[in-house]
Copies of this chain bind each other. A is one copy, B any other.
């Protein structure tokens, strides 16, 4: 009936090793990362998540931050409070406030925010800004941890002090607020901080030749440069990128790769160390490339992205295997049981991939953004928007001993080190940025989100309205609401989609299909409708043979959603003994068992392996047969991101297939 737009199978794509040449640029630099769409999310999964974010998470953030003591040092620095400073080993508390302020800023631009909510957020914003203005020193310095605990000590404890990291998040909040509300007060505070950084750091005499242990200021300074046009900010960003990798932070117990300070980014061939640090750095590297065009930067970013995705990324888009140093493991070291997969690392991955998408226009970046948003990111937040998780395991065993720092997999209202909660908030609050892009050639839909998207196309501007129940349903309707004439409407064909079809006004079309994009170029008029149908057959997935953790196992996916088996849905079946049959047909079902009504669950045939007569020693001669048969069962799978919202218990994604 219709034409088929099929993506090539992954294995035939170019290898990371081949990707040292220049990267194709779709968009001009300079403005590529400025908001290219005016979007509004109107329905479906993301609208609901944003509603909860707006009404629950962001709103209660003010109380959570106060309870956690994030305002204590700032109020002490502002002279508004006398008491005991918050010391601990948490020099980054100011940044939690800043990330939340960024979430407030984006939320204030949400058309669905009601007047009461708006007034409340403005009150929070005003009160916060007043504290920050009062706390800021005359010369612009603002970091309450050092101001209160180590007055006069500035830019000395660079490895662990997080001063520039905090500055970066302040800048990002201020830029967001300036963009959404034209607010200059917070931007003034941020600029004075940035000016002091610019004046203090560098290789000249009397300057600090150093970098922050946690990258973040790089991307923030480029953003501030975009917002203000001030060259000094861009130069400072370049300085920080250039100086990293020369051992300035050496001597830490985790090794200099923890800080990505073991080799300059232009020479690096692998992502290493603390995964959030690595990806915040690479987001800054991509930003810097956009503004100054240094090809060696984008080559490095592209090379490292591919190394990360091909060898160090979980099926969920989660990254960072190790708990101890919150770091990437070795290539293919993707243990499910102890997957760290920090929620912040999923966010950092989205930040980096989105920039690479905007720069190169390659669909694989959008594919990873989508996978990460629906799985590794969304799992970090409870369905009710009130609880968060730091580490996102891909497997929880029967008999799991919970408790303690990193063995308690239940989501929590807040953390002592609360980087993740406000990071989730700002990501959901700015989600519309990830959906579409306009340009000379037309309008491109990166993600399938119900809403309205206005973007420059050719010489004018187009508006499209998207209606879809994706990811539960594969039909995506794109109705043109406003059009300047002839332009290309481009939709992504996800890498897992085989047999996608397109119609325009009900008629099958033969789009231009290339590298994951399908484009229909024509005279578009208001009322025209493009319909994309993505087949959402459940599918079994296997891993690269080098991923030892997934050997002889399969995972169940449908569309961009990774599924898992949870004990609560499979009573009586021991999830540690389950075997799936990857040749069997998986049934699609609805659910009413404590999950949102739209969530699609799956029913997969399998077996439960009989337990052997247990010996004292769990290893046996390989010539003896392991039990392979077992009682046939039908197992219920739920989207990974909803796991742990009902009852505690075992959970697994990768499941033996033999």
Of A78-86, A434-442, A536-544, the segment with at least 4 beta carbons within 8 Å of chain B is A536-544
B323 A9 Cβ-Cβ under 8 A: no
Any B CB within 8 A of the CB of A360:
no
- A493-510 CB contact bits vs B (8 Å, 1 = yes)? 001000000000000000
Give A472 Cβ to nearest chain B Cβ, in Å.
21
Q: List chain B residues, Cβ under 8 A from A253.
A: 404-405
Any B CB within 8 A of the CB of A294:
no
Any B CB within 8 A of the CB of A398:
yes
CA distance A398 to B402 in the complex (A): 33
Q: List chain B residues, Cβ under 8 A from A63.
A: none
Within 8 A of B (CB), among A320-369: 321-325, 328-333, 335-338, 364, 367
B257 A540 Cβ-Cβ under 8 A: no
Any B CB within 8 A of the CB of A577:
yes
* Given contacts A15-B613, A404-B255, A582 and B310 within 8 Å (CB-CB): no
CA distance A609 to B324 in the complex (A): 32
B407 A255 Cβ-Cβ under 8 A: yes
Give A17 Cβ to nearest chain B Cβ, in Å.
7
**Chain B CB within 10 A, most for which of A10, A255, A332, A554:** A10
Any B CB within 8 A of the CB of A11:
yes
Within 8 A of B (CB), among A533-557: 539-549, 551-555
- A425-441 CB contact bits vs B (8 Å, 1 = yes)? 00000000000000000
Within 8 A of B (CB), among A232-256: 252-256
Give A333 Cβ to nearest chain B Cβ, in Å.
5
Q: List chain B residues, Cβ under 8 A from A576.
A: 331-332, 546
B17 A614 Cβ-Cβ under 8 A: yes
B11 A624 Cβ-Cβ under 8 A: yes
Interface CB pairs A-B, < 8 A, 5: A10-B619, A11-B613, A13-B615, A313-B618, A315-B619
Give A165 Cβ to nearest chain B Cβ, in Å.
20
Q: List chain B residues, Cβ under 8 A from A258.
A: 404
CA distance A398 to B129 in the complex (A): 51
A400 B330 Cβ-Cβ under 8 A: yes
Within 8 A of B (CB), among A464-487: none
B330 A656 Cβ-Cβ under 8 A: no
CA distance A17 to B615 in the complex (A): 10
Which residue of B is nearest A15, CB measured? B614
A549 B548 Cβ-Cβ under 8 A: yes
Any B CB within 8 A of the CB of A622:
yes
Any B CB within 8 A of the CB of A626:
yes
B15 A397 Cβ-Cβ under 8 A: no
- A394-409 CB contact bits vs B (8 Å, 1 = yes)? 0101111111111110
CA distance A555 to B618 in the complex (A): 13
Give A564 Cβ to nearest chain B Cβ, in Å.
14
A337 B337 Cβ-Cβ under 8 A: no
Which residue of B is nearest A583, CB measured? B623
- A628-656 CB contact bits vs B (8 Å, 1 = yes)? 00000000000000000000000000101
A541 B621 Cβ-Cβ under 8 A: yes
B582 A542 Cβ-Cβ under 8 A: no
A622 B542 Cβ-Cβ under 8 A: yes
Which residue of B is nearest A328, CB measured? B401
Give A2 Cβ to nearest chain B Cβ, in Å.
22
**Chain B CB within 10 A, most for which of A321, A335, A402, A554:** A335
A333 B397 Cβ-Cβ under 8 A: yes
A11 B545 Cβ-Cβ under 8 A: no
A-B pairs, 10 with minimum CB distance: A255-B404, A255-B403, A10-B615, A540-B622, A15-B614, A552-B552, A544-B618, A330-B397, A254-B404, A13-B615
A620 B657 Cβ-Cβ under 8 A: no
Given contacts A270-B401, A331-B399, A548-B654, 4 further A-B contacts (CB under 8 A): A9-B624, A255-B403, A310-B617, A311-B618
CA distance A594 to B651 in the complex (A): 47
CA distance A626 to B543 in the complex (A): 9
B403 A262 Cβ-Cβ under 8 A: yes
Which residue of B is nearest A582, CB measured? B622
A330 B337 Cβ-Cβ under 8 A: yes
- A543 contacts which of B272, B547, B619 (Cβ < 8 Å)? B619
Q: List chain B residues, Cβ under 8 A from A270.
A: 399, 401
A609 B577 Cβ-Cβ under 8 A: no
A338 B309 Cβ-Cβ under 8 A: no
Any B CB within 8 A of the CB of A21:
no
B337 A335 Cβ-Cβ under 8 A: yes
Any B CB within 8 A of the CB of A43:
no
- A623 contacts which of B313, B338, B540 (Cβ < 8 Å)? B540
B11 A615 Cβ-Cβ under 8 A: yes
Give A425 Cβ to nearest chain B Cβ, in Å.
25
* Given contacts A270-B399, A657-B622, A10 and B257 within 8 Å (CB-CB): no
Q: List chain B residues, Cβ under 8 A from A10.
A: 615-617, 619-620
- A613 contacts which of B12, B329, B338, B621 (Cβ < 8 Å)? B12
Any B CB within 8 A of the CB of A627:
yes
Any B CB within 8 A of the CB of A16:
yes
CA distance A310 to B554 in the complex (A): 26
- A541 contacts which of B14, B614, B622 (Cβ < 8 Å)? B622
Give A516 Cβ to nearest chain B Cβ, in Å.
11
Q: List chain B residues, Cβ under 8 A from A613.
A: 11-12, 15
Within 8 A of B (CB), among A7-60: 9-17
Q: List chain B residues, Cβ under 8 A from A619.
A: 10, 315, 541-544, 555
* Given contacts A337-B330, A622-B657, A324 and B406 within 8 Å (CB-CB): yes
CA distance A620 to B9 in the complex (A): 8
CA distance A397 to B331 in the complex (A): 8
